[in-house]
Amino acid sequence: MSDQEPAAFRARVDAVLSTLLTEEAERLCAIDGLLEPVAEQLRCAAGQGKRLRAAFCYWGWRAAGQPDSDTLLRAAASMELVHAAAIVHDDLIDDSPLRHHRPTVHVALRTPLAGRPRERAGARSLAMLVGDHLMALAGQLFATSGLPAAYLARARPLWADLARDLIAGECLEILRTGTLPDTDASLKVIRYKTAKYTVEHPLLIGGLLAGAAPRLRDGLSAYGLPLGEAFQLRDDLLGLFGEPERTGKAGLDDIRGNRPTALLAEAWRAATPAQRDRLRDVLGRRDADHRHLIRFRELLVDLGAPERVEEMIGSRVREALRVLTGLDVPAHARRALSDLARSATDRRH
C-alpha cells in the first residue's frame, strides 16, 4: 500500500510471511522428520487474512511523514504473526473446530497422534506450542526487519504493552465466560483482547518507528481504539449472523461457548424474564445445532440486539473518522486510514 492498491500491499506482506514461515518450517524438519505435521501448521499459519494489522502499522509510519520502505514492511508484517499466534491460542481456548474453512490447528494435529493415548490433549499441547512459536517469530521478524536499531528501540517497549493487553483480554474473556452478561464488561474484553492489537498498537508501533511526536501518537490512539472496538463488534455480529460459507467459522461457537460478547449482553439487557429463560436454554449448550441457531437469531432480532450493536459500530467509526479529520498527517495517509476504517468494519467475513 505504498500509495498502491490494497491487493498489491497484501501481496508484499504475503511474500515476507511465506518466505519466513517456509524457511522456519524447513528448519524444524531438519531437526527431525517427525516434526513435519507441526511444521506444516506453522507454514500455513499466516496464509489467510486481509493484512489489516500490517496495514495499520504501515500507515502509522506513513502518517508520520516517512516514505515507503521494504524494511518497514517487514516490521509491519510481524503484526500478522502476532495475529496468527493469537488465532491459534484463541481457537484452542474456545475449542473452535474451523478457521478459514480449515480445521483449526489443535484439530488438524490430532491426525499424527491418531490412536495414541490422550490424542486430543497431545494435539492441544502441540497447538499451544505452534502459537508460542509464532509469537516468538513475530519478535524475530521485527528485530531483524533491517530498520536502524535506534528506530526499533523507540517502538520496542510497546511490544510489552501489546503482549500484556492481549493476554489480559484473553484472560478476561475466560473469566467472564458463563457469567451474567454485561455490556460494559464485554466491551472491556473487546478492547484488550482485540481492539488494541488489531488497530491501536500497530498504528502506534508504526508511528514510533517513524519518530512520531506525542501529539500524533495520541491522535493515532484516539483513532485506533474505537475503530478496533468496531472491528470486533462486527466480528461478533458475523459470528452469529454471518454464513459459515463466508466467515469460514462455525456459526454456533459463541452460543456453545456462552462467550461474553456485547451482542449477547445487549440481548440479555433487553430481555424479559421469560426471554432470558429462552436465552439460558441455549447458551452454553454443547449440543446446540442449526435449529437452535435459527431460533436464537430470531430472538436476538426481536430484542433489537443486532440493531444496537450496529449503532455501536457506527458511532465508533464516526468517532475514529472525526479524530482522523483533525490529525496533521499527509493527505495520502489520511485517505488510506479512512479507507481502512471502512474496510475493517464494513465487511461480510
Instruction: Give the tens place of pLDDT for each residue, 277-333.
Output: 999 999 888 888 889 989 999 999 999 999 999 999 999 999 999 999 999 999 999
Question: Is residue 1 predicted with pLDDT exceeding 70?
Answer: no
pLDDT of residue 101: 83
Residue 268 predicted with pLDDT over 80: yes
Give the predicted TM-score (pTM) of the model: 0.94
295 vs 251: CA distance, rounded Å: 13
In tens, the pLDDT along 33-59 reads 999 999 999 999 988 789 999 999 999
8 Å CB contact between 53 and 202? yes
The answer on pLDDT for 153 being more than 70 is: yes
Percent of the chain scored above 90 by pLDDT?
84
User: Three-state SS for 109?
Assistant: coil
Report which DSSP code applies to 212: -
Segment 148-157 shows an average pLDDT of 97
Give yes or no for residue 27 having a pLDDT over 70: yes
Nearest to 23, CA basis, from 124, 128, 141 = 141
Asked if 308 contacts 284 with a C-beta cutoff of 8 angstroms, the reply is: no
pLDDT digits (tens, 9 = 90+) for 86-109: 999 999 998 988 888 899 999 999
pLDDT band (50, 70, 90) for residue 21: very high
| CA–CA separation, 53 and 45 (whole Å) | 15
Residue 349 — pLDDT band, cuts 50, 70, 90?
low
Domains in the chain and their CATH numbers?
Answer: 6-345 (1.10.600.10)
Is there a contact between 109 and 129 (Cβ–Cβ < 8 Å)?
Answer: no
Does the pLDDT of residue 26 top 50, yes or no?
yes
Residue 2 confidence (pLDDT): 44
Measured in whole angstroms, the distance separating CA 97 from the mean position of its chain's CA atoms is 17
CA distance 18 to 23: 8
- Torsion angle of alpha carbons 19, 21, 27, 28, nearest 10°? -160
Q: Please give the mean pLDDT across all residues of the chain.
A: 94
Q: Is 102 helix (H, G, I), strand (E, B) or coil?
A: strand
- The pLDDT tens digits of the residues spanning 103-150 come to 999 999 999 999 999 999 999 999 999 999 999 999 999 999 999 999
What is the spatial distance between Cα 185 and Cα 173, in angstroms, rounded to a whole number?
A: 9
